[in-house]
Amino acid sequence: MKAKIYITFKDGVLDPQGKAVHHALKDLGYNEVSGIQMGKYLELTMDGVSREEAEIRVTEMCEKLFANTVIESYRFTIEPEE
């Protein structure tokens, strides 16, 4: 299975990186960009697990390790490997 995980700051939490990058985009003339959020992206390859198992395991990993749930939220998709 392949899990794709996206981690971003929760709504209302300051995203200092996003702020600085937005600033840079404006300086470069990309004024059409009105908002930006920066986050982390993870791709996991998992062997010998069903989709259901993978879902449970990935949720656990996100809670324990990948996301800092105090300030970040996560979502993920799980697909069989191509």
Where on the chain is the footprint of its own copies (CB under 8 A)? 6-8, 21, 24-25, 28, 30, 32-49, 54, 57, 61, 64-66
Cα distance between residue 60 and residue 46, in whole Å? 14
Least CB distance to its own copies at residue 16 (A): 14
Interacting residues of 78 by C-beta distance below 8 A, sequence separation 6+ = 1, 2, 3, 4, 51, 54, 55, 58
Shortest separation between residue 19's beta carbon and its own copies, angstroms: 13
- With binding defined as CB under 8 A, does residue 71 bind other proteins? yes
Q: What, of other proteins, its own copies, none, does residue 80 touch, CB below 5 to 8 Å by kind?
A: none
What burial class does residue 6 get, using C-beta atoms within 10 Å of its C-beta: 0-12 exposed, 13-18 middle, 19+ buried? middle
Which amino acid is residue 71, in one-letter code? I
CB 52, min distance to other proteins, A: 25
Site of interaction with other proteins (CB under 8 A): 9-10, 12-17, 19-21, 23-24, 27-28, 38, 40, 64-66, 68-71
